[in-house]
Amino acid sequence: MRALRPVLLMAALLAGLLVLLPRSALLFHALFPSLDRPLYTRASFLDLTLAHIRLVLGATGAAALVGVSAGIFVTREAGRRLLPLLSATAAIGQTFPPVAVLALTVPVLGYGSGATLVALFVYALLPIIANTVTGLEGVERSTLEAADGMGFTPLRRLLQIELPLAAPVILAGIRTSAIINVGTATVGSTVGALSLGSPIIEGLSGSNTAYVVQGAILVATLALLIDRLFALGSDGTPA
């Protein structure tokens, strides 16, 4: 139960914000008296949060599937020679600013969530691939030799020995990617994707600090909640 407390606390905090923020016009008017419209109302904060979560889960889930599969492939004999190429490609993708990735994908996919999902996918790949390779390469050689001596097939050895031992490192990479994507997803609102970046982008473009604060508070709380969930799932106790 103690391990669940941080998760429940962050979930309660996020739920409380989603209930209270739409009713906080007087508070933000007092904090920012110069603003005519201190409360973001173009879309509900609940809809923005759910859309943001869908973007993060969709992109991170796809990146986890591709990244872990690629990491497994390049640690086998058949694909080991491709490891430098894969690492370099993923690293290059990480160096592209999110806006640049959006600029390249919008002409193909159009405005909205599609281009944002591609940008988040690209950004999530490197930590997942790197951690998958590190985790699998870190399995003790003596353990692998013992499995071979017991007659394990390569697939059985991978599923029953290598992946379970490498799982904490792989999950750490997915965790890092998910947290990065919570923040990066806000940029998707520049190309019309509905997310918690909508009040932030509109606030920045319209010099409305209250909008920026409202969006930033929810993004930070969501990032902390996802981090606590991964911490709970990785070892059963908060990190």
87 CB burial (10 A radius; 0-12, 13-18, 19+):
middle
Query: pLDDT grade, residue 97 (50/70/90)?
Result: confident
Instruction: Let me know: does 72 contact 64? Beta carbons within 8 Å.
Output: no
Task: Give dist(CA 137, CA 58) in Å, integer.
Answer: 28
Instruction: Let me know: does 231 contact 239? Beta carbons within 8 Å.
Output: yes
The per-residue pLDDT for 32 is: 95
The per-residue pLDDT for 238 is: 39
- Check whether 14 has a pLDDT greater than 80: yes
- Check whether 236 has a pLDDT greater than 60: no
Q: What are the φ and ψ backbone dihedral angles of 75, each rounded to 5 degrees?
A: -100, 0
Tens digit of each residue's pLDDT (9 = 90 or more) over 118-151: 989 988 888 899 999 999 999 998 998 898 899 9
Domains of the chain: 2-14+45-235 (1.10.3720.10)
The per-residue pLDDT for 136 is: 93
- Check whether 215 has a pLDDT greater than 60: yes
- Check whether 197 has a pLDDT greater than 90: yes
The per-residue pLDDT for 235 is: 55
pTM exceeding 0.75: yes
Mean pLDDT of 44-56: 96
